[in-house]
Structure 1
Amino acid sequence: MDGEKIKDSAMDLVLNVADYYFFTPYVYPASWPEDGALRQIISLLVVTNLGAAVLYLGLGAISYYFIFDHNLMKHPHFLENQVWREIKYAMTSLPVISIPTVALFFTEVRGYSKLYDHVADSPLGWPGLFLSMISFLFFTDMCIYWIHRFLHHKLIYKLFHKPHHIWKIPTPFASHAFHPVDGFLQGMPYHIYPFLFPLHKVLYLALYVFVNIWTISIHDGDYRVPGALTSVINGSAHHTDHHLFFDYNYGQYFTLWDRLGGSYRHPSALMGKGPHDLIRKLQAEGKLGNDEANVTDFCEPRSKET
């Protein structure tokens, strides 16, 4: 390839492949070097938007068709044309979210992060690689908890986070259906981590994919959680209660910070009072499809959401 080697970044792995197979032979003129700042920014915008759309639509579709229980669409809180509305909202937000995200990727590409290429570059070798994975999860979980809780503040909530709470019974496609400011703020810890701590490039990319999978999974309506992990892992059952009851279960992966912050709620779906239980109750009573007064036996008032 022409041009100087792109500097240390997880995104340089993606850009090098994109340049070699697509941008250099088919898009950019030979006079435009691969390490040019403007070219890198444009390429990052293309790659980031394409990657986000593929991950969201691809993983979301897999989850929607093979994991999500479509019976949940009978719930009184499920909106008309909700799936299409979730997808439309996400696909209009993701390009806006990509703008500040690309700014962070660009600083990584220019060599300002602590990302490294080889295990030998890790301060602790292979143990350091494993520890960085664990610390990434706990660091981002802590940051997202407090960012998420901040977004629920009465002065902030209506401006940025309320659109995500339209989906009281979310589908996998609700996973990225955020206001752009909300989506960027909650995604920021993932991008900040490699500026603070050493992290292998390939592991960073793998964790980025994992984050997308996890975000979809906590919106997928599969409320099963291994009994021993119910009080530790923040799964779909926990997060659905966040959508239904508003000020509980802010965490991303774990319940740790919800317990420390006094916002933990044991999932209603695991106590026989979840969305599926309500649907069965209304079906047995012949009331399914009536107004939301039918849900009062199962759902607490949402007085803090206005």
Structure 2
Amino acid sequence: MIWYLAELLGFIKIDRSVKLEEYVNHPSYAGNFIRFGMDGIVGEYISTVCQTFLFALALYFTLSCSSYYYFFKKNKQLYLPKLNAKFYIYYDIKWSLINMFFETFLVSIIRVAQPRFSLMYYNISDYGYWYIPISIILHIMYDETLTYWVHRWLHTYPYLYIKLHRIHHFSKDITPFSGFAFHPLDAFAQAVPMFTSCFIFPIHMNLFLFFGLCTTSWAISIHDNVPALPFKFLLYSTHHTIHHEPGPGGMKNIGKFTSVWDRIMGTYEEPDRINFGWNQQQTQLDKLKKANDLYESILPSDVKKIKKNK
């Protein structure tokens, strides 16, 4: 919002009429999807709500059903032969539907505000190709930082945990269906960073949509218990399996995509002890050993302990 304030004070100039025109002409514009005969911002908002909900619904069931069938049914003896647990799939699906329905109304407010108040842009020529990698780094830093602390606060304060986040942790033994099973306010709080980075610095609309797709896909994949790509810069599935363990597990591996903040703040736990019988798991770790050792040398798994020992 600093940029918007600077715009109001005349320090920077953004032609909002042009931004709105570019927004309306973009393929993602909800008005091109469904309109219900309503004009103005109310019609745009309702269209955005419908588009967001239906897209989330389709993506959730496509990814979660595919992942569950592949890892938990068709190839269970290959990937998860030792995983014998009580899954609450119907509970997870119920809360996923509740979450998607109600969170959509909140998220759509931000989506409608983006072309009117943010620094979202639609033509690469506005900033050039050189700015794309910079905006990717800025977004990841912003999203990772805010999401880590929001998630940590949800575990730190009993009231927030009991009223909001406990819904997600009801499933101690997780499946891909657990990826969206949140209280809507909990999910929205953790989604705000992804949706608001464009209010802090310029980001291309297509890149914003890509990050949204990555976030959804990641939320499903980290609940499958299979560490297919065990590069420890990332917080992959077995990291998250630990996070769902009863007791102190909830205060471990709190980050979103990367392990950076967990390592800095001492909430990181190595995921290697989790193996549900996939005999190629160690082979995958061996392949990435040099990369993981290099990362460990740059950012040790527990910076706090190292500082205390000095």
Residue 135 of structure 2 corresponds to 132
Residue 166 of structure 2 corresponds to 162
1:36-47 → structure 2 map (5 Å cutoff): 36-47=40-51
1:258-269 → structure 2 map (5 Å cutoff): 258-267=262-271
Q: Distance in 2 between matches of 1:54 and 1:256?
A: 32
1:184 to 184, 188, 202: 188
Q: Distance in 2 between matches of 1:114 and 1:62?
A: 36
2:149 to 138, 146, 149: 146
Which SS does the other structure have where 2:59 is aligned? helix
Q: Deviations over 1:100-132 (max 9, x none)?
A: 1111111114x211111111112xx21211121
| 1:119 and 2:127 aligned | no
- Cα 1:88–1:9 change in 2 (3 A) is farther
Q: Distance in 1 between matches of 2:229 and 2:21?
A: 39
| 1:257 and 2:261 aligned | yes
TM-score (norm 2): 0.75
TM-score (norm 1): 0.76
Q: Distance in 1 between matches of 2:226 and 2:84?
A: 18
Shift of 1:73: 9.1
* Unaligned segments of structure 1, at least 5 residues: 278-306
Q: Distance in 1 between matches of 2:103 and 2:57?
A: 12
Residue 290 of structure 2 corresponds to none
1:1-306 → structure 2 map (5 Å cutoff): 7=20, 13-14=26-27, 16=29, 19-20=31-32, 23=34, 27-28=36-37, 32-33=38-39, 36-68=40-72, 70=76, 75=83, 77-79=85-87, 82-109=88-115, 111-122=116-127, 125-153=128-156, 154-226=158-230, 229-230=231-232, 232-244=233-245, 245-267=249-271, 270-271=272-273, 274=274, 276=276
Q: Percent identity?
A: 29
Q: Deviations over 1:42-80 (max 9, x none)?
A: 10111111111111111212222224564659746523x
Q: Distance in 1 between matches of 2:43 and 2:265?
A: 45
Which deviates further from its counterpart, 255-264 or 66-75? 66-75
Q: Is the 8 A contact 2:81 2:276 kept in 1?
A: no
Q: Distance in 2 between matches of 1:96 and 1:9?
A: 28
- Cα 1:12–1:78 change in 2 (3 A) is farther
**Aligned partner of 1:127: which letter?**
W
Q: Deviations over 1:134-190 (max 9, x none)?
A: 221222111111000000022321111011111112111100100111110011100
- Cα 1:12–1:6 change in 2 (3 A) is farther
- Cα 1:252–1:39 change in 2 (3 A) is same
Q: Deviations over 1:187-238 (max 9, x none)?
A: 1100110111100111111111111111111112212334xx22x2110010
- Cα 1:264–1:256 change in 2 (3 A) is same
- Cα 1:11–1:165 change in 2 (3 A) is farther
Shift of 1:259: 0.9
Runs of 4 or more consecutive aligned structure 1 residues displaced over 6 Å after TM superposition: 8-12
Q: Is the 8 A contact 1:9 1:113 kept in 2?
A: no
Q: Is the 8 A contact 1:15 1:43 kept in 2?
A: no
**Aligned partner of 2:26: which letter?**
L
Q: Distance in 2 between matches of 1:131 and 1:258?
A: 23
**Aligned partner of 2:113: which letter?**
T
Q: Is the 8 A contact 2:19 2:121 kept in 1?
A: no
Q: Distance in 2 between matches of 1:130 and 1:237?
A: 29
Give the aligned length.
254
Shift of 1:6: 7.5
